[in-house]
Structure 1
Amino acid sequence: MEIAATIAEFRQARGRLGRLGFVPTMGFLHEGHLSLVRRAREECGAVAASIFVNPTQFGPSEDFSRYPRDMERDLALLRAAGCDLVFTPGVAEMYPPGSLTAVEVTTVTDTLEGAVRPGHFRGVATVVAKLFNIVQPSCAYFGQKDAQQCVVIRRMVRDLDMPLEVIVCPTVREVDGLAMSSRNVYLQPDERQAATALSRALDAAAALYKAGERDAGRLRQAMRDVLAAEPLAGIEYVSVADPELLSELETVSAGALLSLAVRLGRTRLIDNIPLPG
């Protein structure tokens, strides 16, 4: 496995590879990330990953400075998963002094995470566009857990005619249903137990849909009821939205996206499931 800290080093190594799958990450890897690496290897033959905690997608009151980092551990996990090439740039490499350009996707960034975290998706779209330009992947792999991010990136790729395929893979969960996330390490033991309320809330709404309920308001209320029963859970939003535009629905149809954001102590978690269809 090769490791490149600069764009020039990465491009030189990239030239020795053909069809390439790409997994962009912010590090502190878990099984969700590694499942993307393995799928990229199966489908593309060669795989590259990036480890970069992107400062432009964090708000001033968010956790950039304390976001978990362990480069040595991450590199060992990527090597074991069969990664061929890892890009590990510093902030100055990705955002040289005097940088003036940003990428902004509109409309689908106005709701959910975009409403709660102003500027977040501007940072996401910019860094992902830069990474795609540097890596030149055939396919890029993302997890369903960050559903709105996936919508934004797919839209950016389509609108800017980027020559790659964005592949969204199922959320990987702990045995008790909690979606794997690098931020789970922040949870205290009681908060970790309470965090199962997120998946239980989504499951409750999905069960109503399976039983024939099509009123989106009732599905939202089902999620709120489960979360309200957990004293440690502070609800930021619950949503039943169109899967492409992310606008809230009144009547649910197949493929609708159930999503939520919850605070447990100092930790903010998100989760979602698309309804079958």
Structure 2
Amino acid sequence: MTPIQSILLGILQGLTEFLPVSSSGHLAIAQSLIPGFSQPGVLFDVLLHLGTMGAVLLYFRREIGALLCAPFRSGPEDRLQRRLLLLLIAGSVPTAIIGLAFKDFFEGLFENLPVIALMLLVTGTLLFFCERFRRGSRREGELTISDALIVGTVQGFSIIPGISRSGSTIATLLLRGVDGETAARFSFLLAMPAVFGATLLSLKDLEGAAAGTLPLYLSGTAAAFAAGLLSIHFLLAVIRKKRLFAFAIYCWLAGAAVLFWTL
């Protein structure tokens, strides 16, 4: 992998992490086109995800700061933040269980392009139905433990490449009557524990990384961070205007193209 390829993959990750089109699926497809591409485990992919989570930290720094400070304060707003923090913890539990139980199986799918293509078709269908049947306008104060557990379970299975994490979790909340911006913020915040956990699990793969590849990985991570900031801003604007249909069509076309190419 060259520095240019690393940066381009980072940009691809940053743009597709928050857009509902499956960053893992796009990375797997792009990496299959690079002759001789290899990585220990999914270390490079996880580091790219870490870069996009850095974008979440920066973009939502006020919300994250309020969440972290809420346990030590007693104001009315702090009670809401403590409740949101508990919901994020609850939602992270099924994600962790599914991720740990099926980690090896999911990683094995990253080289299975037909499966990735089929999952892109599934993502497109989910986006279509969520935009067609989205209802309600529940805000953060109205989120329930059921919302957190269901969306956490959905996030766990979105480790499958081709299933968009942001798309599936936001769509699930929209179908449960949650306001679009609230759904997006909760989805982004819920992703952080999962990505940091996956990063810790992948640290062992550093030993298998070839000498001199770490600067390449870090350049890709920096590119993912920068592209991620733009992607978050764009997705929030799209959700406000209720235009997820375009992403559904894109996923259908991309999935069909990859399926035709591989078969």
TM range (shorter): under 0.3
Which structure has the larger Rg over C-alpha atoms? 1
Higher relative contact order (CA 8 A, sep 6+): 2
TM-score normalised by the chain length of structure 2 = 0.27
TM-score normalised by the chain length of structure 1 = 0.26
